[in-house]
Structure formats: structure tokens, C-alpha cells
A = this chain, B = another copy of it.
Amino acid sequence: MSQTAKSTKDRILDAANKLFYGEGIRAVSVDAIADAAKVTKRTLYYHFESKDQLIEGYLASRDQPNLALFAQWFDAAEGSIAEKTAAIFYRVGENARHPKWKGCGFLRTAAELANMPGHPAVAVGAAHKKKFEAWLTERYAAAGLTNPAAVARSIVLLMDGAFSTILIHRDPEYAIAAGDTARAIIVREMDASE
């Protein structure tokens, strides 16, 4: 438990993050992650029972940072909740320009593990998405929208749609379209709530 530099477990998780996100879960071997973390495989298996648990750990480690980033983008944006929501989409679009961007890790993991619906990593991903939806609902409720949950659901659909379409087309423009659509939905809802 020494705090000097990084713990072995964190180094393994960092390597898992980089490789699982960058290459895909089934495309990356446990050996590759052990190598990248500069540990032997035996040590990796000391900290994680199985590859499946490592996958779960990888997604769990992205949960909070990801939500925090979205909240930060939202808070940093000027204007109404419509503008703040659109800002998240535009930021996603900016990020998608980086060559290392490979879509949403939670969605991609669910896609890869579609044949194992009960997999713990998929549960972590689903919980993450639910948290994001709940967070949006709160914001919209606080802003006085009459149907905060319905609006939040429309927005998460657009967001996951943006992740997917940007990935398949390799075209960040879809983030702009999704953000514009999101803004229009919220603006209309704001007018109706007046």
C-alpha cells in the first residue's frame, strides 16, 4: 500500500485501460497487459482472479472519471441547459478527432460481450449509463423542465447514437448534428415549461 508512485494494481489497470480501450477486449491478451504494466502474468493474476475480472476492473476505473468529465464540460459551458447539453456533444466531437479515440469504452465492451449478457463488466457499463441518465435528469429537473426524465432519455439516446455513428463513419460531424438536435429538443421543452 505504498503511495510512492503508483501501486502495482494501478499500473495493471492503466495498462488494461490503454490496451482494452485501444485494441478491444478480445483482441488483447492478458500477457500483453502484463507486459505493458511491466509485471509478470503471475503478479497480474495475484491482483485479478481472471481476465473477466480485469475487464470489469477496467470499466469500473473509467466510471467516475468519465462522469466527472461530462459534468465538467456541462458546468464550464455558458448559457442555458440547452447550450450546456449541446456543449457536451461538441466536446465529444472534438475528442473524437484524436487518433486514439475509439468510441465509448462501455458501449464497445457491451458490443463485444453481447453473447454474455450477464457479464459483470456489462453490468458496470449499464450502471455507468444509468448514472449519466440520472445525472442529466437531475439537471433538467433543477432547471424546471416538466419532463426531465423523458428529455434526459432522448439526450442519452442521441449521445450513444453519436458515439456509434462517429465510430463507424470516423466522422466527428455527427457529434455536431447530435448536439444541435439535443439543443432543439431542450429549447422546445423549455418553451413548453414556461
A153 to B103, CA, bound (A): 19
Q: Binary interface profile of A, 159-180, with partner B (CB < 8 Å = 1, else 0)?
A: 1111111011110001001101
Residues on the B chain within 8 Å of A5, using CB: none
Question: Chain A contact residues: over half helix, strand or loop, or mixed?
Answer: helix
Determine the residue in chain B with the shortest Cβ distance to A101: B114
Residues on the B chain within 8 Å of A129, using CB: 165, 168-169
Q: Is the CB of B153 within 8 A of A160?
A: no
User: Of B27, B150, B177, which is within 8 A of A157 by CB?
Assistant: B177
A157 to B171, CA, bound (A): 13
Chain B binder among A18-26, A36-44, A64-72, A134-142:
A18-26
Say which size band chain A's interface belongs to: 35 or more
User: Of B24, B157, B184, B185, which is within 8 A of A112 by CB?
Assistant: B24
Is A8 an interface residue, CB under 8 A from the partner? no
A156 to B173, CA, bound (A): 13
User: Of B103, B111, B150, which is within 8 A of A167 by CB?
Assistant: B111
Q: Binary interface profile of A, 70-112, with partner B (CB < 8 Å = 1, else 0)?
A: 0000000000000000000000000000000011001110111
Q: Is the CB of A24 within 8 A of B26?
A: yes
Determine the residue in chain B with the shortest Cβ distance to A178: B157
A82 to B8, CA, bound (A): 55
Determine the residue in chain B with the shortest Cβ distance to A171: B126
Candidate in A115, A126, A158, A161 with the most chain B CB atoms within 10 angstroms:
A161
Is A188 an interface residue, CB under 8 A from the partner? yes
Residues of A within 8 A of B (CB): 22-24, 26-27, 102-103, 106-108, 110-115, 117, 122, 125-126, 129-130, 150, 153-154, 156-165, 167-170, 174, 177-178, 180-181, 184-185, 188
